[in-house]
Structure 1
């Protein structure tokens, strides 16, 4: 029987690409996962402030296309696109000045929903753990967001919303999963870098 950690690692597809965002030409990571809930329920969970409050943190602001939002941890940005129930695109400004863009694309698959989460940033090293900064690594960090979304849809509410806690509070199996996911992202990033390394010019 597959272990819980192995199952958690294999349920997610991880890839990279490039994307033009407001801050410039950015590296983009893509997480794809299927969630066993209808698309309407998933869309409500990622856009309704009352629901987001329970597992991420309550967004405040002018919550409509063209409006702005801010989360309790100080993350803020613009709502660039909102096409219910399939597409949500946000600019993301982290405390400390890091600029990025997040896009959620939902696709109905019978009674399930496929989520393609795209996160692009011009900041180097944003995907992987940086022990010096202690910030969430975007790769494993956004996977934990999808975990929290799934748990919420399954009726399991966390003791503290994900946006309030930091990965340094993890221990035991949770910390092991965070580190294992980071290792998977390291492999994918190394493969992508190798495939896209600059071709040497003529000597």
Structure 2
């Protein structure tokens, strides 16, 4: 199955996580970093999740999942240790056309969390479509060895150059050619062997 690779501005979008364990905590961290407004529903939650509630970063409802928990959410993460509950969450979210990620049964959901490498404004996402997250993480880590923090500076430099070109009113084709050439040059500089003599 093919998936659409897409970055979404999650700022102020409501997300529901069903589950309160380690997987839920990891997904919560990812969603918080993206600016999502997160609600957690679980009979019990890890202290790491509870601490975020104390800071106002997340709301928690103690108890089992209920269909009404889906009200007003854009995305649901089913991350319980009960496959039947996860399937129910996926089914009910699907009936409401709400995107759902199912931690233990990726094929039951319609979206997945990729392994992400960040260098400032540069994000590289690696996904196997939920088929083998461990491989995606290994590939991300391999790329991390090639893409250093200097790439964050390149993003800022090229973004400033792009903004300048846009204000000059040049054509799209011209701007694209100029920025691609600059990007290639900057990447080549980073890749060139360093003189250590």
**Structure holding more strand per residue:** 1
Give the TM interval when normalised to the shorter protein: under 0.3
TM-score, L = length of structure 2 = 0.25
In terms of fraction of residues, the more helix-rich structure is: 2
Which structure's CA Rg is the greater one?
A: 2
- Please give the TM-score of this superposition, normalised by the length of structure 1: 0.25
RCO higher in structure (CA 8 A, sep ≥6): 1
